[in-house]
Chain A
Amino acid sequence: MQLPGGTSKKQKQGTAHTRLTEPAPVRWLLTATALVFLGMFLFIPLAAVFSQALEKGAGAYFAAISEPDALAAIKLTLIAAGISVPLNLVFGVAAAWAIAKFDFRGKSFLITLIDLPFSVSPVISGLIFVLLFGLQGWMGEWLSAHSIKILFAVPGIVLATVFITFPFVARELIPLMQSQGREEEEAALVLGAGGFRTFFSVTLPNIKWGLLYGVILCNARAMGEFGAVSVVSGHIRGLTNTLPLHVEILYNEYNFAAAFAVASLLAFLALLTLVVKSIAEWKVREQISAE
């Protein structure tokens, strides 16, 4: 591979860089290693999920995913994702906009804070909410006095999901927006556009693919989150079980076919996410290379 601009220096160093690629056996070996690894750790497990799910036939499969508890789990998962993704979309865009386009005190602190859910174990994240809203927690007494249920109920699950998926959109947008600089916004401002107009007709179109990418990742995590949700859920069947929790319960009951059937839904979601993600990624790259 020749790097533009680096050639003259390289040529002076003699013949060491005249070979532009690795020899064929090395290339084959490296490619094969990567493929075997990928197959063992990604493809075989995925195939196993689907084959186990369909072990007892298509009838058992559809029964497992249409049974009331499973439907309740699907519904709760959709609710949790449906609330946390829009919330984090708004928050993520606002935070990325502030961080990339303005200078203010405490900017690096805010970036660290956004990363917090990534650096803390999901179980700890769940425990934070137990400490806050549990009966022995800081707000526990007040909440029970007003008979507001957060823990072991839908609000707790939503809160935990929002917390866990907090960084995805912001993290995706910050580098993109920083690389785009603020000149276009300044240009819009000088041309007489206000803040809202500038955001909707200049900033947003420039980040739309990156934003979609962030939302997809955020959604995938919101639907797949286990640890934090498990701590705050209480595992009440048909009430506070999300899809991943439901899979665990079925599995613990040695109901393998049903467990894998429900798991296959999550696997489907993962595959779908991958497809949309590749499209978004490709669009982002196209956008960057067009500059």
Chain B
Amino acid sequence: MSIEIQNIHKRFNGFHALSKVNLTVPSGELVALLGPSGSGKTTLLRIIAGLEFADEGTILFNGEEATHRSAKERQVGFVFQHYALFRHMNVFQNVAFGLQVKPRNERLSKDEISDKVHELLRLVQLEQLAKRYPAQLSGGQRQRVALARALAVEPQVLLLDEPFGALDAKVRQELRRWLRKLHDEIHVTSLFVTHDQEEALEVADRIVVMNEGRVEQSGTPEEVYDKPANPFVFNFLGNVNLFHGRVHGGSARIADISVDLPGHGEADGAAVVAYVRPYDIEINRTRQGSDEIEAVVRHIQGAGAVARFELERLDSREIIEAELTKERYRELGLRTGEKVFVKPRNIRVFAQDYQI
């Protein structure tokens, strides 16, 4: 089922939780709502589930108006951040609940319900734990029970609120892959909320970046990562270096570097900020050309897949973060305190007033 969100507005005591949100989730996709806390992503998810109602705007399910449908009628599966398992019911009863509350004419027989619950528990690999109570389960197990419970009613849409937020790093990674695999198997339209960019990039087909109640950008992981629409998205998806500069004759001047600004209409002298990813910082021991910045190595962290450098600009004393491959790191053989020449690649320039 596809979901369409048009012009959604939501206020809480004068605070704009969501303003003019537009969003389309194509049928069968796994979409991440990514943003910092307070960006409105959970509110949006709850509005889609019918647990909260928008002040303005429309929600369409499969092109049909669903704005005023109650949570009961929407046929969505919702996985809560803290799972919200029924604490006085065991795993089996939790998963069976959605099937048992159906109206009599739609309800399956007792045996059919039992079969279905066991099938779901097999799917989430918890068959042996059917008699356990939520308090007796680990976080990862509770999470999977919550998922099985949500899937039991065969929802048209699966909504997950920070599904891996409360788990430790290792379990989180496993569950992430498992969710991706599960989605590839059952293909239910899914929307999950996260503040973890890595999680969104790894799992989702599409990422919707949200900030302060607005959608900043939506697109495939590659699109939002490689072509961020604005400084916020750039900053939120991974580390970034900032260089301040000014417009001069149609191009931006940042230190001694000149960057062309096609399509920008800024006047001469306007302040601009350039964004460069740490892995797009090139380091040389000797000057290679005029478009380089002089810096001193302040700190090197050589452990891990890449070597991380902290460099201090000689002109402005600002810190630049750089990532080099292991080979390049060995080839250079740099030590702290040495002077180097820094050359940024893939520079993205944004006007200063569009600040974060």
A residues sitting closer than 8 Å to B (CB atoms) are: 183-184, 186-194, 197, 201-202, 205-206, 287, 290-291
Question: Which single residue of chain A is at the shortest CB-CB distance from B74?
Answer: A190
CB–CB A187/B135 < 8 A:
no
Specify which of B49, B76, B87 is in contact with A291 (CB 8 Å cutoff): B87
Q: Encode contact with A along B51-76: 1 for CB under 8 Å, 0 otherwise.
A: 10000000000000000001110111
Interface of A is mostly: helix
Known contacts A190-B72, A190-B78, A201-B101; can you find 16 more A-B pairs with CB under 8 A? A184-B84, A186-B71, A187-B86, A187-B149, A188-B97, A189-B72, A190-B150, A191-B101, A191-B150, A193-B72, A193-B101, A194-B72, A197-B101, A201-B86, A202-B86, A290-B133
Tell yes or no: B11 within 8 A of A by CB: no
Q: How far is the CB of A31 from chain B (nearest CB, A)?
A: 34
CB–CB A186/B80 < 8 A:
yes
Specify which of A183, A201, A287 is in contact with B80 (CB 8 Å cutoff): A183
Q: Encode contact with A along B218-250: 1 for CB under 8 Å, 0 otherwise.
A: 000000000000000000000000000000000
A206, B84: Cα distance in complex, Å: 13
Q: How far is the CB of A289 from chain B (nearest CB, A)?
A: 9
CB–CB A187/B72 < 8 A:
no
Question: With A186-B51, A186-B71, A291-B135 in contact, is A192–B84 under 8 Å at CB?
Answer: no
Q: How far is the CB of B131 from chain A (nearest CB, A)?
A: 16
- Contact residues on B (Cβ < 8 Å of other chain), bracket: 20 to 34
Supply 28 A–B pairs (Cβ within 8 Å), ascending by A. Answer: A183-B80, A184-B84, A184-B87, A186-B78, A187-B80, A187-B85, A188-B97, A189-B51, A189-B71, A189-B72, A190-B49, A190-B50, A190-B51, A190-B77, A191-B97, A191-B98, A191-B153, A192-B72, A192-B98, A192-B101, A192-B153, A194-B72, A194-B101, A201-B86, A201-B101, A206-B87, A290-B135, A291-B87
Tell yes or no: B102 within 8 A of A by CB: yes
Tell me the B143-198 residues at the A interface (CB within 8 Å): 149-150, 152-153
CB–CB B88/A187 < 8 A:
no
A133, B179: Cα distance in complex, Å: 68
Q: Encode contact with A along B193-206: 1 for CB under 8 Å, 0 otherwise.
A: 00000000000000
Q: How far is the CB of A6 from chain B (nearest CB, A)?
A: 22
Q: Encode contact with A along B88-104: 1 for CB under 8 Å, 0 otherwise.
A: 10000000011001100
A37, B176: Cα distance in complex, Å: 60
Tell yes or no: B298 within 8 A of A by CB: no
Question: Which single residue of chain B is at the shortest CB-CB distance from A193?
Answer: B101
A191, B71: Cα distance in complex, Å: 8
Question: Which single residue of chain B is at the shortest CB-CB distance from A186?
Answer: B51
Tell yes or no: B82 within 8 A of A by CB: yes
Residue among B50, B74, B86, B149 with the highest chain A CB neighbour number at 10 A: B86
